[in-house]
Each structure stands twice: as C-alpha cells, then as structure tokens.
Amino acid sequence: MDLNYSKNHEDLRAEVRAFLDEFGAQSPKPGGGRKRPDQRTLDWQHMLLERGFCARTVPTQYGGFGAEPDILEAAVIAEEFAGSGALPGLSNQGISMLVPTLLEVGTEEQRERWIKPTIRGDIFWCQGYSEPGSGSDLAAARTTALVDGDDFVINGQKIWTSSAHFADMMFLLCRTEVDKGKHDGLSYLLVPMDSPGIEVRPLVSMTGRAEFNETFFTDVRVPTDQIVMGRGDGWRVANNTLKHERMLLGSPEKLMNRLERIRQMMTETRIDNVALIDRAEWRDRLLRLQGEVIAAKYNNMRIVSEQAKDVDPGLKRLIVKYSGTMVAHRLSALAVDVLGQSGLVYDPQGEQLEDSDATTWLVDYMYDIGLIIGGGTSQIQKNIISERGLGLPREPKVAAAKA
C-alpha cells in the first residue's frame, strides 16, 4: 500500500491544475442531458486533446496524444477535473465504447477512418444492441444483415437507442449467419445513420424527455467491409464494448460529487429552523451513504492499481455496475427527500436550457432507474457476478433459442 503518487504523476497533476486555473472558465457546464456537442464543447474537447487530457493513450496517427498506457495518469486527470467542476473530455458511446473496441480489435483502416473524427467530436455514435424481443437476452437479436453482392442488407428493429436522433453512425449487433447458433451467428457492423431505409422514432421516457429511440431498418445497405472482426464474431466484440460501458455506469466520481452536493443542501435546508445536517435521523442517512461511497471510491483505486499491473480485477470489477447504480439511486432519493414538498416542482426545460435544482435531482432520481436497467439489468449483473465471479453453475437452459 502506497497512496503517494510518483513525481511524474505529481508533475502531471500540476500541469492539469495549471491548465484548469488558466482555462477552466472556458469549460462548458457538465451535465445537461444527452445532446449533440455545441461549438464551445468541441473547442474545449480540442484543447484537451492537444494536451493529452483526454484520449491520452490513443496513438497520434489516430488523433490521440500517443502516451504510453498508464492508468494512474488517467486517474490523476480524472481526479483533477472532478475536483474543479470542469467538463472532462467528451464521454459518449463512441468515445467510451467504440474507440477502445476498435483499438483492440479493429482493422488499421477502421482505426484510421473512425477514431480521429470520433474523439474530436465530429462523428457521433449510437449503439444498436437491444431489440423488443432481446433485452437481457441480448444474443437473441433478430435483426438480420444478409449479404447481397458487396453489401450487407439490414432488416429489423432496435430499441433504447440513445442519441440515435442526432447520431451520425451506429455500431450494430445483428445476425449475419442465420444458419449458425445463437451466439456465433452475430456480427458487429458500422452503419451510417443517413443510410436510406433507417427510420428513427423518439421514445419518451418517464422523465418526459425523448432520451432514446426506436430505430427501424428496411433494406439498409452497408458495404461488407463495415464489420468489426469477422462474420460471427459480433458477440465477442459486443461483450468487449459492454465491459467498458459497465465501468462507466458505476463510476465512483459521480457518487462522490453527489454526496458533497447533498451535504451542502442539508446544511442549507431547515425544518423548524434546524438544519437537516443537525438532525440525527437525516444526518445518519447521509453518513451511511458516505460509507458506501468511500468504499466504492477505494474499490475503484484497487481496480486501477491492478489494471496498471495487467492483473484482471475479477470480482471487484464485476460488481461495479450493480452496486454503483444502486448507491447512485439511493443518493438521488436522499436528495429528493431533502428537497421535500417544494422539491415536487418538476419543470424540465428543453435540451439547451438549464433545469432547476429540484428538476435536475428528479431527473437523476428517475434516470438512475434507467441506468439500473440499461447496460445489463441488476439481475443480469448478479448472474454475471455469481457465474463468472463465484463460479456458480448456470441456470439450466430450457430450450435452444431460435435464431
């Protein structure tokens, strides 16, 4: 155990701090829901890319900073940005999920073509995984892509496609090998969203906003080289992508940030002229959550330390999505309770306008439930934890799924 950082890491920390001191005011406000990055956000992203504060280990020929992989450097940068309240580099499904996947298993041509515009924010991606009939059972996907000449021809329907209404591209899990089994019949394709035959219909969530969509494919053609890895490798590629998504969803930085905001609210909110922080029953709820948040924070540091040594963190990584999203929801629930009856005012503005504190917390309170379900439900996470992490036997199969 040594929680001191090396001189190189402390130098990097100083560099990030100096940058944030000088330019932090130019940062767009974090949050604001899913929307296409505006010019200010793009300018900010380009400043960060230039200094290696995002896409740090992406090789320079793909538009990155080209640093050697050093997970502690990433942790130092994340800590400093979290502490300053500035927007860290863009985080979306293209950057967080597709780019690492292409770096791992993409072809040279795919990396050169897609990574640079993606990390610069010029190309925005959405994820085509779930279908009405295949949610938790993702591998049962029925959307087909059949070869016709030099093209795949895609037919079917995807659901919960966040950002599809403004995305340029989709990474799509679909069935190319109809004569093969459930898992090895799938492929992972890269599909332009302006292709003829794609129709996007917004889906309004319980927050009242259209955060995601249904996406329909009717004879959509993409060239056969727009595939990541080979035909039938889609399940492997998709799982690789999901691993990146789950760590993102359970991130402890968000929990720490929320805890501090709630604590401040509890010093300002009074009942009978006594601040909630001075009321034992309220305070104990906050402190109980603080214990969970601290545990999550240091569990994450343990994961980072092991990844830096190329050790698979195993169980401690597998639990992050399930436990992180549950704690997040308990935090937003406490915030809503602190807001009390005046916090019932729910008046979400459009995508470009800022919401009131109460509305923001209520959106989180609802959106958190979406995150508990999305990216693999808590129940699926518990299957993964117990089967892959603890070696418990799988549920016997009732019958082979139909392709």
Q: How far apart, in Å, are the Cα atoms of 122 and each of 35, 191, 247, 311, 400? A: 13, 16, 25, 35, 43
Q: Which two tokens stand for residue 134?
A: 């295949």
Q: Which two tokens stand for residue 138?
A: 């993702």
Give the shortest CB-190-to-other proteins separation in angstroms.
Answer: 34
Q: How far apart, in Å, are the Cα atoms of 349 and each of 40, 199, 360? A: 20, 26, 10
Give the shortest CB-316-to-other proteins separation in angstroms.
Answer: 5
Among 14, 206, 271, 295, binds other proteins (CB under 8 A): 295
Binding mask 262-291 for other proteins (x = CB under 8 A): -x-------------xx-x--xx--xx-xx
382 binds other proteins (CB under 8 A): yes
Give the shortest CB-134-to-other proteins separation in angstroms.
Answer: 19
Longest dimension (CA), the chain: 75
Interatomic CA distance for residues 168 and 188, integer angstroms:
17
345 binds other proteins (CB under 8 A): no
Residue closer to other proteins (CB basis): 207 or 381: 381
373 binds other proteins (CB under 8 A): no
With contact defined as beta carbons under 8 Å apart, do 318 and 329 qualify?
Answer: no
8 binds other proteins (CB under 8 A): no
319 binds other proteins (CB under 8 A): yes
261 binds other proteins (CB under 8 A): no
Q: Which residues are catalytic?
A: 245
Among 294, 333, 336, 403, binds other proteins (CB under 8 A): 294
With contact defined as beta carbons under 8 Å apart, do 55 and 65 qualify?
Answer: yes
Q: Scanning residues 148 to 207, which ones bind other proteins (CB under 8 A)?
A: none
Of 227, 135, 218, 154, the closest CA to residue 188 belongs to 227
Interatomic CA distance for residues 305 and 254, integer angstroms:
20
385 binds other proteins (CB under 8 A): yes
Residue closer to other proteins (CB basis): 95 or 327: 327
Concatenate the DSSP letters of all residues of 150-161 into one string.
Answer: TEEEEEEEEE--
Size of residue set near other proteins by CB under 8 A: 51
Work out the number of other CB atoms within 10 angstroms of the CB of residue 311: 10
Report residue 399: phi and psi, to 5°.
-160, 155
135 binds other proteins (CB under 8 A): no
Residue closer to other proteins (CB basis): 228 or 276: 276
Give contact residues for other proteins (rule: CB under 8 A): 1-6, 9, 72, 75, 263, 277-278, 280, 283-284, 287-288, 290-292, 294-296, 298-299, 301-302, 304-306, 309, 315-316, 319, 322-323, 379, 381-383, 385-387, 389-396
